[in-house]
Structure 1
Amino acid sequence: MTGIPARLTLGPVLFNWPAARLADFYRRITDEAPVDTVVLGEVVCAKRPPAVEVLAESVDRLRRAGKEVLLATLALVMQPRERQAVRDLAVQDDAPVEANDATALALLRGRPHAVGPYVQVYNEETLALFASHGATRLCLGPDLPVEAVVALAARAAELPGFSLEVLAFGRLPLAISARCYHARAHGLQKDGCQFVCGRDPDGLEVETLDDAPFLAVNGVQVLSGSYGCLLPDLQLLQAAGITGFRLSPQAVDMVAVADIHRSVLDGELAAAEGQVRLAALMPEARFANGFLHARAGLDWLAARRTGPE
């Protein structure tokens, strides 16, 4: 164990939730969720109407509640207006920025910033390079086996003021594209999508030709069909030196999800019992942690009933 208290981060909402839902969501997170950091902003699609007033109100409320706020950039920047939006975000002083693509990294160089899971890091020297450019924390992509996570955590521990985070809960981000899968599924073009992604607040499930569960789509983004869950592995990751654990918002009671993870991280709840409680919140969900164990990403290795009850 590192002796450093584990921190919980709530990642950005990836789905096209209406402004009223977002406002209610962040009010409840502010007042009830045991998270230390909240990442706000549109990551997936620049076409989605920005809930500017909601985000501004949420930043203020979260800060007054003692929570740290990060502002996320887009994960795919293609158009001049999108590049300008990233430039505007990079120079603002309202909150630190989390970079999700190389465009943002270049603009933030020399300023303290975070790096999101859409910027892939697979070796220690890349980690050190980002730190030398001003990054103070980094959330690893979800596809790394535990051996790689351990090696990266050891290097991160040598970098002053730098911390490493893993995606502990939520559909896993697998790919992002210029093509809008949601629009195509409804017989629409991307330019005339009618924001149909808003019909699926937790992503649109995709099945194989044999009707087997497969993936989920969210506009231009491909997500895992199962929900990433590292509850069985939190103790292992803490021992490896990971100090940050990210929860990706889903259409479920995220306050309860955060409570479960906080209790397991603090040693107040056994991982197996945490699993039982999470499954009760999401009775139809399929969970996965295969990537961490160098297996197929959709595999699930459940926790044993050990530790405090």
Structure 2
Amino acid sequence: MSRSRLVMGPVLFHWDENRKNDFYNRIADETDIDTVHIGEVVCAKRMPFFDKYLPDVIERLQRAGKEVVLSTLALVMNDREVSQIREIAEMPDILIEANDISVVRLFADRPHMIGPYINTYNESTLAYFASRGAKRVALPWELPMSSIKTLSNIQDSAEIEVQVFGRAPLAISARCYSARARGLHKDGCQYVCGDHLDGMDVETLDDTPFLAVNGLQTLSSHYIELSDNIIRMQKAGVGAFRLSPHSLDMIKVADLYRQVLDHKIDPENLRLCLGKLHFPMAFADGFLHGAPGTEFRHTLGRRAE
């Protein structure tokens, strides 16, 4: 079995430039991560804050031996954003991740990957993307293990990637929920999404954790944690395992998942170490089992076989 690829997904939140630069510098210098995603996925208005740093970030990550992937917007809404994507498509020597089906055609003549915001649910869709030059496909968060296994078993197709840690994006909208929560209009949002490093928690009327809001994006309140099923996915043919960045110590998180991927520690040990980070998170793996997404089957004493 070839060595599994460990992937750090794009930063979904509006972190300031110092936090982002420090994050990528530490990823370059201190982790055994194979692939690092950069770029803005959620809101085009955030792009100018960090775009000027991207050349230096790319150079440093590549110098450290990391494959760099430039992730693009999950919702392309106007001609200006299409033009931005066109410019990205002309960048040489870097893998581009398409997250909106409307821009996939722009990358057809160059190596690229399909992001999890595009619904790759069946063999025909996967075959289509592979025929258009996609070298890797990150599957949507809601797929059960049976579908992941089917897609991973297709021969001579794109490499399959699955997110194994972090909040799951559930929806994206043209409206900015963070701005509306402050009584602001999207055009005058004041970038209040940056006040919540991991998204703004949303609770039900009886104070039950429900969702998280990140500007235009709605995420799960729970954190995906699929370490119990990593061996099954490796055997099924999944080649890449994605971590979604949050404000906890992602260097430690990456090290723990690298050890699980290399079969050096077990999932129980991983979760014990995550608990020692003293970061508030409830785990979930329900989607993988065809159950409600908020369920965590390990807590029910039902390990994956």
1:24 is matched with 22
Letter in 1 for 2:256: I
Shift of 1:117: 0.5
Q: C-alpha deviations, 1:218-273, integer Å up to 9, x for none?
A: 00000000111111111111111111000000011001000000001101101111
2:166 is matched with 170
> What SS does the aligned partner of 2:202 have?
strand
1:33 is matched with 31
1:244 is matched with 240
Identity value in percent: 50
1:277 is matched with 273
2:121 is matched with 122
Q: For residues 106 and 14 of structure 2, what CA distance do their matches in structure 1 show? A: 27
> What SS does the aligned partner of 1:302 have?
helix
TM superposition score normalised by structure 1: 0.94
2:133 is matched with 134
Shift of 1:159: 1.8
> What SS does the aligned partner of 1:257 have?
helix
Contact 2:74 2:99 (C-alpha < 8 Å) held by counterparts: yes
Spell out the pairing of 1:1-309 with structure 2 (5 A cutoff): 3-48=1-46, 49-155=48-154, 158-159=155-156, 162-302=158-298
The 4+ residue runs of structure 1 with deviation greater than 6 A are: none
Cα RMSD of the aligned pairs, angstroms, is 1.3
Structure 2: runs of 5 or more not aligned: none
Shift of 1:4: 1.8
Contact 1:111 1:133 (C-alpha < 8 Å) held by counterparts: no
Letter in 1 for 2:208: A
Shift of 1:211: 1.3
Letter in 1 for 2:271: Q
Letter in 1 for 2:250: M
Shift of 1:279: 2.1
Q: C-alpha deviations, 1:174-232, integer Å up to 9, x for none?
A: 00000100000011010100000000011000001121100000000000001111111
Q: For residues 115 and 279 of structure 1, what CA distance do their matches in structure 2 show? A: 33
Shift of 1:92: 1.3
Q: For residues 241 and 271 of structure 1, what CA distance do their matches in structure 2 show? A: 19
Letter in 1 for 2:190: Q
> What SS does the aligned partner of 1:9 have?
strand
Q: 1:106 to 1:282 in 2, by over 3 A?
A: farther
Aligned length: 300
Q: For residues 14 and 270 of structure 1, what CA distance do their matches in structure 2 show? A: 28
Letter in 2 for 1:217: V
Shift of 1:282: 4.3
Q: For residues 50 and 278 of structure 2, what CA distance do their matches in structure 1 show? A: 28
